[in-house]
């Protein structure tokens, strides 16, 4: 937890289980010697919001979500105020300020979040303190988390807390909103009036403009004793650039999601073991897939690429799809330097990038038909997963691995495999047999 103060959530990474409700919040707090760049809130609330399949996730995963549509938005697992009795509700004292940690735990949909009659002050995203901007509403893409401060500065009453889907064609997006209630402790009035409207769900300019305004607070304290801004990208030299295009293709009669026309194929031997014991041989071949362009035709493949240890990597994510995408890299934060629509060209570095105070975060959105550029400092040796956080895209192959190799065998940097490793992959029945065998030997010798 050394470098990542802030708001996150956890979920199982296999078998589509996130869609079955397998998730929960994580709060990582500052050490007491580090100053937080805002006064201590009266209380903190976790708000996990996401789209929800009506059907069992086990049914949905048989096609990886193809042919299925999410049709609800839930707030902390609860249905909307207007339809259910057990809706989500938070109690506030008049005049006090609260921290809401909002995560999009959904499968496919980006959301817009807002609170009736209340402003929000953005303070944190996924382990970084942001410049504090005041917002009427905020877009939260799949896998992302934000902290906002909300002050109970209105008349004693109850107010709607609302999230609506973006980029979903509905005549009335409010009709399927996630709706919770902000309850003033001294209120006798139920939430009323019309739901607060968000921006047009198809207004990319609004969303991108807001995304660009979310910047790193350079003077805020970090997990380390020095402040966040002491480590930034204004003077770095790139060692590598990847240009990764997320798309979808027909491969062997099935629709699969791809990166540069490669749909990830999970090998039966874990990559890390194959790397450690047999140099990948027979399991994967490193650096055989293109990292600047796409293969001429889509294929399945175990996509593993080299990352240069302690080098700066630029990744440009391109989104071929007509939906929002979001990308996540395990093991590192993204310095989010730029967003754009249409084609990315190297000139974007001088015309569009923000080198001064890009926010550092774990998950970044890519607009439909657009691109997003990030910088990553590869100071963490390992075999790291880079993936679409959109569950359908990820499950159907939109991922790859970056192998960051450090020849120094210092176990503090990377722990060696455990001694009982060979039991991995062995069936439980077989392990039981071995135990029975030792049990018999034990009694025979007695
Ligand atoms: Cu991760």
Q: What CATH code is carried by the domain that includes residue 317?
A: 2.60.40.420
Q: Of 95, 94, 102, give the one whose Cα is nearest residue 125.
A: 102
| Boundary of a domain, candidates 213, 235, 254 | 213
Q: 422 pLDDT exceeds 80?
A: no
DSSP structural state of residue 42: S
Q: What is the pLDDT of residue 417?
A: 79
| Boundary of a domain, candidates 193, 213, 233 | 213
Dmax (CA) for the chain in angstroms is: 81
Per DSSP bridges, beta strands 382-388 and 399-404 are antiparallel
Q: How far does the centroid of ligand 1 lie from the alpha carbon of residue 135, in Å?
A: 28
* Number of separate domains in the chain: 2
Q: Encode burial over 350-368: b for 16+ CB neighbours within 10 A, e otherwise.
A: eebbbbebbbbbbbbbbbe
Task: Give the C-alpha separation, 372 to 355, whole Å.
Answer: 14
Q: 3 pLDDT exceeds 70?
A: no
Q: Name the average pLDDT for the chain.
A: 93
Mark whether 205 and 296 lie in a shared domain. Answer: no
**Residue 445 within any structural domain of the chain:** no
Q: How far does the centroid of ligand 1 lie from the alpha carbon of residue 8, in Å?
A: 10
Per DSSP bridges, beta strands 6-10 and 178-184 are unpaired
Mark whether 335 and 413 lie in a shared domain. Answer: yes
Per DSSP bridges, beta strands 399-404 and 304-307 are parallel
Split at pLDDT 50, 70, 90, the class of 230 is confident
Q: How far does the centroid of ligand 1 lie from the alpha carbon of residue 376, in Å?
A: 14
Task: Give the C-alpha separation, 21 to 29, whole Å.
Answer: 25
Q: How far does the centroid of ligand 1 lie from the alpha carbon of residue 280, in Å?
A: 23
DSSP structural state of residue 438: H
Q: How far does the centroid of ligand 1 lie from the alpha carbon of residue 328, in Å?
A: 7
Mark whether 44 and 84 lie in a shared domain. Answer: yes
Mark whether 280 and 404 lie in a shared domain. Answer: yes
The rounded percent of the chain whose pLDDT value lies above 90 is 81
> Which alpha helices (H) appear in 250-292, and where do they start and end?
271-278
| CB atoms near residue 225 (< 10 Å) | 10
**Residue 435 within any structural domain of the chain:** no
Q: How far does the centroid of ligand 1 lie from the alpha carbon of residue 331, in Å?
A: 6
Q: How far does the centroid of ligand 1 lie from the alpha carbon of residue 5, in Å?
A: 15
Mark whether 189 and 311 lie in a shared domain. Answer: no
Q: How far does the centroid of ligand 1 lie from the alpha carbon of residue 127, in Å?
A: 12
* CA distances in angstroms from 103 to 8, 391, 395, 405, listed in the order given: 7, 15, 20, 32
**Residue 427 within any structural domain of the chain:** no
Split at pLDDT 50, 70, 90, the class of 139 is very high
User: Which tokens is 247 given?
Assistant: 């798309």
Q: How far does the centroid of ligand 1 lie from the alpha carbon of residue 232, in Å?
A: 21
Question: Per mean pLDDT, which range of 90-94, 297-301, 339-343, 438-442 is the poorest?
Answer: 438-442
**Residue 370: which domain range?**
243-420
Mark whether 89 and 200 lie in a shared domain. Answer: yes
Q: How far does the centroid of ligand 1 lie from the alpha carbon of residue 364, in Å?
A: 12
Mark whether 68 and 107 lie in a shared domain. Answer: yes
**Residue 413 within any structural domain of the chain:** yes
């Amino acid at each position: 937890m050394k470098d990542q103060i802030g708001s996150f959530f956890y979920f199982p990474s296999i078998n589509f289980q996130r869609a079955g409700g397998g998730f929960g919040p994580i709060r990582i707090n500052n050490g007491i010697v580090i100053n937080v760049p805002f006064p201590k809130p009266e209380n903190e609330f976790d708000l996990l919001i996401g789209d929800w399949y009506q059907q069992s996730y086990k049914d949905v995963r048989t096609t990886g979500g193809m042919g299925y549509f999410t049709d609800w938005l839930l707030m902390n697992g609860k249905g909307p105020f207007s339809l259910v009795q057990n809706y989500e509700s938070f109690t506030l004292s008049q005049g006090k300020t609260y921290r809401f940690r909002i995560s999009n735990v959904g499968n496919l949909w980006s959301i817009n979040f807002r609170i009736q009659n209340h402003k929000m002050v953005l303070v944190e995203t996924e382990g970084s303190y942001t410049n504090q901007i005041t917002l009427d509403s905020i877009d939260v893409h799949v896998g992302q988390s934000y902290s906002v401060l909300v002050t109970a500065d209105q008349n004693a009453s109850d107010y709607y807390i609302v999230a609506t889907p973006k980029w979903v064609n509905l005549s009335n997006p409010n009709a399927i909103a996630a709706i919770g209630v902000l309850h003033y402790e001294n209120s006798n009035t139920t939430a009323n009036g019309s739901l607060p409207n968000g921006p047009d769900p198809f207004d990319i300019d609004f969303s991108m403009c807001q995304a660009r305004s979310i910047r790193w607070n350079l003077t805020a304290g970090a997990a380390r004793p020095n402040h966040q801004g002491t480590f930034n990208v204004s003077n770095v030299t790139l060692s590598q650039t990847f240009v990764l295009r997320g798309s979808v293709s027909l491969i062997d009669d099935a629709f699969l999601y791809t990166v540069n026309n490669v749909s990830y194929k999970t090998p039966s031997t874990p990559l890390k073991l194959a790397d450690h014991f047999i140099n990948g041989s027979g399991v994967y071949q490193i650096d055989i897939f293109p990292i600047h362009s796409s293969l001429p035709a889509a294929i399945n493949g175990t996509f593993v690429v080299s990352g240069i240890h302690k080098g700066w990597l630029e990744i440009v994510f391109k989104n071929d799809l007509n939906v929002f995408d979001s990308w996540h890299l395990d093991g590192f934060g993204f310095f989010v330097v730029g967003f754009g629509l249409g084609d990315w060209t190297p000139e974007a570095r001088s015309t569009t990038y923000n080198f001064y105070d890009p926010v550092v975060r774990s998950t970044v959105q890519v607009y439909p038909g657009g691109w997003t550029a990030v910088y990553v400092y590869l100071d963490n040796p390992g075999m790291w997963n880079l993936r679409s956080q959109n569950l359908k895209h990820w499950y159907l192959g939109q991922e790859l691995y970056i192998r960051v190799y450090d020849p120094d065998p210092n176990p503090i940097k990377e722990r060696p495999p455990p001694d009982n490793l060979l039991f991995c992959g062995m069936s439980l029945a077989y392990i039981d047999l071995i135990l029975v065998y030792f049990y018999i030997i034990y009694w025979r010798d007695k």
